[in-house]
Structure 1
Amino acid sequence: MRIKMIKAIFKKEMIDILRDKKTLFMGIVLPIILYPVLMILMTQILSASMNNIERQDINIAFDKNPSSNLISAIEDYSDDETGKINIIESKDYKKELEDGLIDAYIEVKENDKLEDYSIYINSSKENSMTVVDKLEEILDEYKVNITEAKLESEGLNINEVLNPIVYKTVDVAKTEEIAGFFLGQILPVILIIGILLGAIYPAIDSMAGEKERGTLETLFTLPITNLELVMGKYMAVSFCAIVTAILNILSILLTLGFLLASGGMVEGISMGSFDAGQLIIPLIITLICVCLFAMVISAVSMCVCSLAKSFKDAQNYITPVMFLVLIPSYVSMIPNIKLNGITAIIPVVNISLLIKSVLSFNANISLVAMVFISNFTFVILAVILLSKMFNSEEILFGSSRSFSFLEKRSNIKKGTMPSISDGIILYAFGLVLLIYVGSLIQLKFGMAGIAMTQVMIIGLPLLFAYYIKSDFKKVFSLNLPKVKHIFGAISLWIGTYVVVMIITQILLYLFPHSMEVVEGLNDALFIKDNLILNILIVAGMPAICEEMFFRGFLLSSFKNSKKSYKGAIIFTGILFGFMHMDFIRMIPTGLLGISFAYAVCKTNSIYISMFMHFLNNGFAVVVSHFANNLEQTEVATTSVGMSIGQVLIYLVVGLVFIFIGSRLFKDKNRPSEGKSI
C-alpha cells in the first residue's frame, strides 16, 4: 500500500467534497450558525415567555365568599411584577376553566374547625402550573398567619414552636463539575448528530455520487490497488466527519460561554467560580472518542452508500442508519444507565456514556480503555468490510433488481428469485405488522392471537413469492433431507441449545431484572394443563411459519451466490433475534437462527430447520408442562449458579455436538437439490 497514492486520492476526494455546496453547508456553516442561534434565541425566548406568564393577571373564583384574611393575603401578593389576582364570580366553573375565563376555581370546606381548600385547574392551559404555584404560596402564607395568630393568643414563642430546628443544604460540587454534568447530558447527542451530518454527505458523494457521475469506473483504471483507493476515500470522509465534530464542540462551548457570561442558563454556575482548566483533560478524551467514532460512522456510511446506484438511492439507504445511530445516543439522558463492562462494548452507547462520565469526572480508566479498544476494533472491522465490498464488482456495479413488488406482475418473469431489497422490505413489513397488529391480537385473543400471528407470518412470504412468480421449491428449499441430516440436525440443535443456555445464564447474571421478563413470557406463552395445544401453537406453528419466513424467503433473498451465503446465514440470524424484540432473548434467539440457517444452507432442505425449531420449542413446552410448577422450571432452566469450570465443560460439550452435527451435513456450500414434495 503506497502512502503517496492514498494522499493523491485523499486530495482528489477533498476537492470534490469542497466543491459540493450542500456538504459545506451541512459540515461547516450549520454547526457554526445553528447552535448559537438556537441556544441563544431559545434561551431568550424561554426567559421572555416565563416573565410574560408571571406578569399576567390571574382570574380565580370561589364557591363561596372567602374570609377577609384570605382576601387580604391575595391582595398583598398581587403586584405589577407578578400580575394581579382578580376574584370573580363563577356559574359553571368547568366550562369557564375550559374556555379560559377563569384560571382556577377554589372550593372551601370547613372540617372540624379546619379550612379545607380544593384548587381546580385545567392543566392543558399553559399558565396552569404558574397559577397553582402562586395560589399555593398565598395559602401557605395565609396558613402561617393563622398559626402565628393562634400561638400569640396562647402566649407561646412563635419561633420556637414553628422553627424548632434549622437546616441548610451545602453543595460540595465544584462549578466545573456542575458544568461538566450539564454538558454530559446534551453534548453526546449533539456530537453524534454532528458526526452523522459530517460523514453522511461526503460518503454519499464519494460512493453513490461517483457512480452517478460515471467516474468510479475511471478510478479503477488507474494504476492503484483497491485498498489504496478505499483508504484515500475513507480518509477524506473521516476527515470531514472529524472536522464537523470539532466545529460542533467549539460552537457549543463558545455558545455556553456566552450564555454563562451574560447571566448563565445553568443555575449554580457563575464565571467567577468557574475553572475551565479542569475541563481540558475531559475535553481531550472526548475529542479522541469523537474522532474514533467519526471513523466508525464514516466506514459504515461508505459501506451503505456503496450499495446505492445514485445519490437519491444513497439518501434512502442511509436514513435507517441515522435512526439506528441517533436512538442509542439518547442514552446519556437516562439517569440510571452508566458506563460499565457491558455498555462499554455496545456501539454508540459506549461513546455517549463515556462522554457523559468523562465530563462528569466519574470516568474509570479501565472502562475508558475498553471503549477505545472496542471502537478501534469497530473501525478495523468496518474498513475490512468496506475493502471487501470494493473488491466485489457485483456490489459496486451490479444491476440487481429493485423492490419487485412495485412492478406489474405481468412484467415479472416466471421463476424470479427474490432480491436483497425484496427481503429487506418483507422483513420491515413483517416487523411493522408484528408490532402494530400482532401485539394487539395477542393481547386480545391470547393463545388464539399467537396462532393468528403465526398465520400472518407465513402468509407474507407466500403471497410475495406468488406475486413475483418465484419457484416455491427453490425459494423455500422444499427438498426432502437424507436420514443422516436428521441425526445431524439433532446433534447441531443439542450443541446450539447448550451454548444458548450458557449465554442466557450469563445475561441473566449481568441483568438480573430481566428474570421478570422471562417469567412474564412463560406465563404468556404456555397454557397450563394443555400439553397438546401448547405443542401445536408454541412449537408446531412457529416451526413451520417462522421458518418459511426466515429460512425460506428471507434466506433466499440474501443467499444469491456462493460467496455471500455465510453473510446470509449471519444476517438472517440477527434479524430473527431482533424480531423477538426482547433484549434478554435477542442474542440467544439470534444464535439459534444462525444455526437453523446453517442447516438449511448445508442440506438445501427447510424441513431440517423446521425440525430443529420444533425440537427447541417443543422441549421448552414439555419441560414446563411436566415440572411441578412454572417457578421450579424457571429455577431449573435459568438459574445462574454454575462455576467457571462447569461453564467451560458445558461449552466444550456443546461445541462437540455442533461439530458432529456439521460433519453429518453435506460438505458443500451449494449441495444438489434433493427430492421435492
Structure 2
Amino acid sequence: MWQVFIKELIELLRDKKTLFFIIALPLVIFPVIFALMGFLGAKAALTQSEKIVKYVIVNEEAAPDFANVLFYHNDFKKVDVEVSDEASYIKAIKDEQVDLVVVLDPEFNKHQNASEKSTWKIFFNGSKVIGGSRIKLEDAMDRYAEDLQQKMFSQLGLSREQFDVFKQPIVLEEIDTADERESFGEQLGGFIPYLLIPLCLTGAMYPAIDVGAGEKERGTIETLLLTPVSRFSLVFGKFLCILTTAIMTAVITILSMVFWTFLVGRVFSVDEVAQVLAAVGFFEFVMVILLLIPVCSIFAALLLAISIYASSYKEAQNYMGPLTVLVIFPVIVGMTPGINLDGVWALVPISNVALAIKELLKGTMDFAYMVPIFASTGIFAFVSLAFCVYWFNKESVLFR
C-alpha cells in the first residue's frame, strides 16, 4: 500500500500541471481575487462619484426652489430635451438623452397649503443607474424637504431645536457587543470556505484523473494489477496519494490566505485586518485543516471512483465537471445569513465544515459540535471509500 502511495506521489510531483493546481493556483488565487475585487470596487465607486446626472424637470414652475437646488448641484446637469408625456420620458431615457426625468406635482403649492402630501415621479433606467444617480437625487430632495419642514415649523413659531426634536424625537445609540474579530468573521467567514473547499476539490481532481483514467490511457493498469498487491491496498494507496495532494492544497491555500491578508493589512495600513488576523490563533488554523481532512477524504474517494470508471482522461474530466458545481451548493450555506452551526447543520457533510470554519474565524465556535461534524463527515468519507474499493474490484469497470 505504501509503495503504491509513494509511487503515485512521485509520478504526480513530476507532472507540472498537477504542481500548478496544488501549489501555484492557491498561492496566486488570493492576491488575484483581492486585487480584482479592490480594483473593480474602487473603479465602480469612482465612476459613480464622478458621474454627472443629466436630468429634465417637468412642471418646474411648481417648485422653483427645488429646480434651483438641482441646477446649482455639481452632480447634476440640466439638458434641453422636449418631453410631453410618459412615452416621451421613457424614450428620452432609452435613447440616453437623459438619465432622470423628474415630474413635479403641478398642484404642489395647493397641497402644501392644505397640509397634504404631494406625489412626485422619477423616471430612470434601473439597469443602468446602479443606485448612484438615484442616491444623489434623494440626497438633494432630502435637503429640499428639510428646508420645507423648517419653513412650516417657523410659521408655527417653533425654533430650530424644537424642529429637530419633532423631526427625530428619539436618538438611538447603537452599542455593538461583537468585537472586531467576530464582525470580521461574520462578514468574511462564509466567503473563506467558498474559496477553500472548491480549491481542495480542484487539488484532488487532477491527481485523481491521473491515477485512475490516466493509468487506463497509458495502459499501465494491467501491469499494476499483476503485482502481488491486494486490490484494497492498490485503491487505498491511490486514495492516500489523492488525499495528500488535496490536504497540501488546503494547507498552501490557508498559508497563502494568511500571508496575503496580513500583507494587505500592512501595506495599506489597515490595522484592523492585521489585528483580527493576529487574534485568530495557531489552534484555529490547525482546527480548520483538521476539519478539511474528512472533506478532502470525501473528494478523494468520489473522484477516484469516477476516474476508475472513466475510460479516458477526457471522459473523467467530463464526469467530474458536474461535481464541481454540486459542491458549491452546500458551501453556500456558510454564506447564507441567518444560518448558524447547530445540532442539525452539524450533521450535514460539507455544510457543517463551512459553518464551523466561519465560527472558528469569528471566535465563537462551540467545540461540542466537533463530534457530530467529524462523525457525519467521517462516515460519509468511509462510505465513499468503501464504494471506491467495491468499484475497483469490478472487472467490468476496470476494463470498460
Q: Same fold (TM over 0.5)?
A: yes
Q: Does 1:119 align with 2:126?
A: no
Quote how far apart the aligned CAs of 1:287 are. 1.5
Q: Is the 8 Å Cα contact of residues 40 and 255 (structure 1) preserved in structure 2? A: no
Quote how far apart the aligned CAs of 1:351 are. 1.9
Quick one: which of 396, 399, 402 aligns to 2:398?
396
Take 2:97 and 2:267, find their aligned partners in 1: how far apart are those partners? 38
1:25 match: 20
Query: Over the residues paired in the alignment, what is the CA RMSD in angstroms?
Result: 2.4
Quote how far apart the aligned CAs of 1:98 are. 1.1
Quote how far apart the aligned CAs of 1:279 are. 4.9
Q: Which amino acid aligns with 1:173?
A: A
Normalized against structure 1, the TM-score is what? Answer: 0.54
1:107 match: 103
Q: Does 1:200 align with 2:205?
A: yes
Q: Secondary structure of 1:59's match? A: strand
Take 1:72 and 1:148, find their aligned partners in 2: how far apart are those partners? 18
Q: Is the 8 Å Cα contact of residues 392 and 398 (structure 2) preserved in structure 1? A: yes
Quote how far apart the aligned CAs of 1:264 are. 8.4
Quote how far apart the aligned CAs of 1:76 are. 5.2
Q: Is the 8 Å Cα contact of residues 176 and 276 (structure 1) preserved in structure 2? A: no
Q: Does 1:96 align with 2:92?
A: yes
Quote how far apart the aligned CAs of 1:21 are. 2.2
Q: Does 1:231 align with 2:236?
A: yes
Q: Is the 8 Å Cα contact of residues 61 and 90 (structure 1) preserved in structure 2? A: no
Q: Which amino acid aligns with 2:123?
A: Y
Task: Extract unaligned runs of 5+ from structure 2.
Answer: none
Quick one: which of 73, 77, 80 aligns to 1:85?
77
Q: Does 1:43 align with 2:46?
A: no
CA 1:85–1:272 in structure 2 vs 1: closer, same or farther (change >3 Å)? Answer: farther
1:287 match: 289
2:70 match: 74
Q: Is the 8 Å Cα contact of residues 62 and 90 (structure 1) preserved in structure 2? A: no
2:49 match: 54
Give deviations 1:579-624, integer Å, cap 9, x for gaps.
Answer: xxxxxxxxxxxxxxxxxxxxxxxxxxxxxxxxxxxxxxxxxxxxxx
Quote how far apart the aligned CAs of 1:257 are. 3.3
Q: Does 1:310 align with 2:302?
A: no
Q: State how 1:411-430 maps to structure 2 within 5 Å.
A: none
2:385 match: 383
Q: Is the 8 Å Cα contact of residues 60 and 67 (structure 2) preserved in structure 1? A: no
Quote how far apart the aligned CAs of 1:280 are. 4.0
Q: Is the 8 Å Cα contact of residues 203 and 302 (structure 1) preserved in structure 2? A: yes
Quick one: which of 218, 226, 250 aligns to 2:223?
218
Take 1:179 and 1:231, find their aligned partners in 2: how far apart are those partners? 40
Identity of matched residues, %: 29
Q: Secondary structure of 2:175's match? A: coil
Quote how far apart the aligned CAs of 1:104 are. 0.8
Take 1:188 and 1:38, find their aligned partners in 2: how far apart are those partners? 14
CA 1:128–1:242 in structure 2 vs 1: closer, same or farther (change >3 Å)? Answer: closer
Q: Which amino acid aligns with 1:28?
A: I
CA 1:334–1:264 in structure 2 vs 1: closer, same or farther (change >3 Å)? Answer: farther
Q: Secondary structure of 1:270's match? A: helix
Take 2:262 and 2:364, find their aligned partners in 1: how far apart are those partners? 23
Q: Is the 8 Å Cα contact of residues 10 and 236 (structure 1) preserved in structure 2? A: yes
Take 1:159 and 1:165, find their aligned partners in 2: how far apart are those partners? 14
Q: Secondary structure of 2:60's match? A: coil
Take 1:118 and 1:279, find their aligned partners in 2: how far apart are those partners? 55
Normalized against structure 2, the TM-score is what? Answer: 0.88
Quote how far apart the aligned CAs of 1:370 are. 0.4
2:136 match: 134
Q: Secondary structure of 1:120's match? A: strand
1:347 match: 349
2:272 match: 270
Quote how far apart the aligned CAs of 1:220 are. 2.1
Q: Which amino acid aligns with 1:230?
A: V
Q: Which amino acid aligns with 1:22?
A: K
Take 2:269 and 2:373, find their aligned partners in 1: how far apart are those partners? 33
Quick one: which of 252, 256, 262 aligns to 2:261?
256
Q: Which amino acid aligns with 1:20?
A: D
The count of corresponding residues between Structure 1 and Structure 2 is 385
Q: Secondary structure of 2:228's match? A: coil
Task: Extract unaligned runs of 5+ from structure 1.
Answer: 1-5, 400-677
Q: Which amino acid aligns with 2:258?
A: L
1:166 match: 171
Take 1:254 and 1:117, find their aligned partners in 2: how far apart are those partners? 53
Give deviations 1:653-675, integer Å, cap 9, x for gaps.
Answer: xxxxxxxxxxxxxxxxxxxxxxx
Quote how far apart the aligned CAs of 1:322 are. 2.4
The higher relative CO (CA closer than 8 Å, separation ≥ 6) is in 2
1:367 match: 369
CA 1:326–1:154 in structure 2 vs 1: closer, same or farther (change >3 Å)? Answer: closer
Quote how far apart the aligned CAs of 1:243 are. 0.8
Quote how far apart the aligned CAs of 1:128 are. 4.5
Take 2:269 and 2:308, find their aligned partners in 1: how far apart are those partners? 46
Take 2:118 and 2:343, find their aligned partners in 1: how far apart are those partners? 57
Q: Secondary structure of 2:59's match? A: coil
Q: Secondary structure of 2:212's match? A: helix
1:299 match: 301
Take 1:124 and 1:275, find their aligned partners in 2: how far apart are those partners? 38
Q: Secondary structure of 1:60's match? A: strand
Take 2:312 and 2:180, find their aligned partners in 1: how far apart are those partners? 51
Take 1:346 and 1:249, find their aligned partners in 2: how far apart are those partners? 23
Give deviations 1:471-513, integer Å, cap 9, x for gaps.
Answer: xxxxxxxxxxxxxxxxxxxxxxxxxxxxxxxxxxxxxxxxxxx
CA 1:280–1:295 in structure 2 vs 1: closer, same or farther (change >3 Å)? Answer: same
Quote how far apart the aligned CAs of 1:152 are. 3.2
Quote how far apart the aligned CAs of 1:316 are. 1.9
Q: Is the 8 Å Cα contact of residues 350 and 371 (structure 1) preserved in structure 2? A: yes
Q: Does 1:184 align with 2:176?
A: no
Take 1:15 and 1:258, find their aligned partners in 2: how far apart are those partners? 34
CA 1:263–1:157 in structure 2 vs 1: closer, same or farther (change >3 Å)? Answer: farther
Quote how far apart the aligned CAs of 1:140 are. 0.5
Give deviations 1:316-339, integer Å, cap 9, x for gaps.
Answer: 222232233222221212223333
Take 1:108 and 1:380, find their aligned partners in 2: how far apart are those partners? 69
Give deviations 1:548-580, integer Å, cap 9, x for gaps.
Answer: xxxxxxxxxxxxxxxxxxxxxxxxxxxxxxxxx
Take 2:265 and 2:91, find their aligned partners in 1: how far apart are those partners? 45
Take 1:395 and 1:284, find their aligned partners in 2: how far apart are those partners? 39
Larger Rg: 1
Q: Which amino acid aligns with 1:339?
A: L
